[in-house]
Amino acid sequence: MAPEPLNVALLGTKFMGRAHSNAWLSVAKFFDLDRQPNMHTVVGRNEAELAAFAHRWGWAEHSVDWHQTVTDDRIDLVDIGTPNNMHADQAIAALEAGKHVACEKPLAHSLGAAEAMVAAAVQSYAKSGARTFVWFNYRRVPAVALAHQLVRRGALGRVYHARAAYLQSWGGPDTPLLWRFDGDVAGSGAHGDLNAHIIDAVRFVTGEEITAIEGAVEETFITERQVVDPGSSASGQKDASTVDDAVAFLARLSGGGIASFEATRLATGYHNANRFEIHGERGALRFDFERMNELEYYNVDDGPTAGWRTIDVTRGAEHPFVDAWWPDSHGLGYEHTFVNQAADIITMISGGTPVVPMPDFADALRTQRVLDAALEAARRRVPIPVDPV
């Protein structure tokens, strides 16, 4: 007898709603799964837009009532792609109803909300076995997954340095006052949006934790932006932008190494430069998402012929995830990272092992603590240990 399908409910229909919908729509076509995902219900706020979204992306039902949806007995997995300040209420309600929950990053708009989500996840798992997942999708880039595996095999030895940057340029003065520029909704700006990804990447690849923030800088360059809410009398006027545009900080790693992180939406000339370098006693790795199908590796054992080599991670079925996709050297894209994660989510719910470790709420809380400590270090202008924050 075939296993029951996995009924998925998606909350949110914008950028992440599209990315997640594509993942659920595509995953069973490329991966052999123990359970088939059923795109059951999508939730949004605008009824007219919602019906069109559901039809376009293949959702069987749609609703404007997220609470009714996440407590619906027919739903197995709740996928949260809403603004950051909604994550906690939606995730906790779903967990209390015994649902598996996959949540976008950062885990929440505040550390307190993230801690409440973890507490709910612990209780729900003990009661019903509900699992939690966080969409740090860059872990599912084959090059990043391979970097993680190489470090685990000892290719770098002791890690001395990690340097990471996420550079975008879309947040200039002409960009309107979207929710991402509202501190009450987003929690932070480039920091929570972009630094969250590279903090997770460094933790994931090195296998080490960030133990202290030694110094940080937070800056808001664009202090006012144009209001674009059609339902507001203030539309067309300017209001305060209450998040950072750029945050950079220095940190210590649990293995004794040091790390630097930089996130900005005002790096003119860069559009989506998500990059890191890891330097160790035996070798080094570097990655740039703008060349996402490549991983660069330096091996000191090569002696006088040592030099950076470029690994085409779409060439050879032994590289993570690529055996599900195209013939050698037919490149993958951004959307494939979400499909890869959807496959691992279903694998774990079915009792299997993911290709590489999957962040749950407790894992994502570690990244949230680093985010919080970095902002505190910037505002107080003092070093901040991560754990007590």
Query: For the domain that residue 79 is a member of, what is the CATH number?
Result: 3.40.50.720
| Cα 330 to the center of its chain, rounded Å | 25
Residue 271 resides in a domain: yes
Examine the domain organization and report whether 146 and 107 are in the same domain.
no
Q: Distance between CA 141 and CA 295 in Å, rounded?
A: 10
Examine the domain organization and report whether 335 and 262 are in the same domain.
yes
Examine the domain organization and report whether 115 and 232 are in the same domain.
no
Examine the domain organization and report whether 101 and 39 are in the same domain.
yes
Q: pLDDT for 25-67, tens place per residue?
A: 999 999 999 999 999 999 999 988 999 999 999 999 999 999 9
152-177 mean pLDDT = 98
Which pLDDT does position 22 carry in this prediction? 98
Examine the domain organization and report whether 98 and 161 are in the same domain.
no
Q: Distance between CA 86 and CA 305 in Å, rounded?
A: 53
Residue 2 pLDDT > 80, yes or no? Answer: no
Question: What's the domain range around 36?
Answer: 6-134
Band of pLDDT at residue 1, cut at 50, 70 and 90: low
Question: Which of 206-210, 218-222, 233-237 is predicted least confidently?
Answer: 233-237
Counting the structural domains of the chain, the total is 2
Q: pLDDT for 355-368, tens place per residue?
A: 999 999 999 999 99
Which pLDDT does position 232 carry in this prediction? 67
Residue after which a domain boundary falls, among 111, 134, 157: 134
**Which amino acid, residue 340?**
N
Which pLDDT does position 388 carry in this prediction? 60
Which pLDDT does position 48 carry in this prediction? 86
Band of pLDDT at residue 228, cut at 50, 70 and 90: confident
Residue 389 resides in a domain: no
Examine the domain organization and report whether 37 and 155 are in the same domain.
no
Q: How many Cβ atoms are within 10 Å of 4's Cβ, its own excluded?
A: 10
Examine the domain organization and report whether 267 and 378 are in the same domain.
yes
Examine the domain organization and report whether 75 and 146 are in the same domain.
no
Q: Distance between CA 286 and CA 295 in Å, rounded?
A: 6
Residue 291 pLDDT > 60, yes or no? Answer: yes
Residue 77 pLDDT > 90, yes or no? Answer: yes
205-213 mean pLDDT = 98
201-210 mean pLDDT = 98
Band of pLDDT at residue 163, cut at 50, 70 and 90: very high
Q: pLDDT for 99-126, tens place per residue?
A: 999 999 999 999 999 999 999 999 999 9
Residue 345 resides in a domain: yes
Half-sphere exposure of 15 (CA within 13 A, CB side): 6
Examine the domain organization and report whether 190 and 70 are in the same domain.
no
The domain that contains 370 carries what CATH number? 3.30.360.10
Residue after which a domain boundary falls, among 103, 134, 165: 134
Residue after which a domain boundary falls, among 77, 104, 134: 134
Q: Distance between CA 134 and CA 197 in Å, rounded?
A: 11
Which pLDDT does position 3 carry in this prediction? 83
Which pLDDT does position 242 carry in this prediction? 97
This prediction has a pTM of 0.96
Query: In the predicted model, what is the mean pLDDT of the chain?
Result: 96
Examine the domain organization and report whether 278 and 297 are in the same domain.
yes
Q: Distance between CA 91 and CA 367 in Å, rounded?
A: 18
| Cα 297 to the center of its chain, rounded Å | 24
Residue 201 resides in a domain: yes
Share of the chain above pLDDT 70, in %: 98
Which pLDDT does position 236 carry in this prediction? 77
Do residues 360 and 135 make contact, with C-beta atoms less than 8 angstroms apart? no
Examine the domain organization and report whether 216 and 351 are in the same domain.
yes
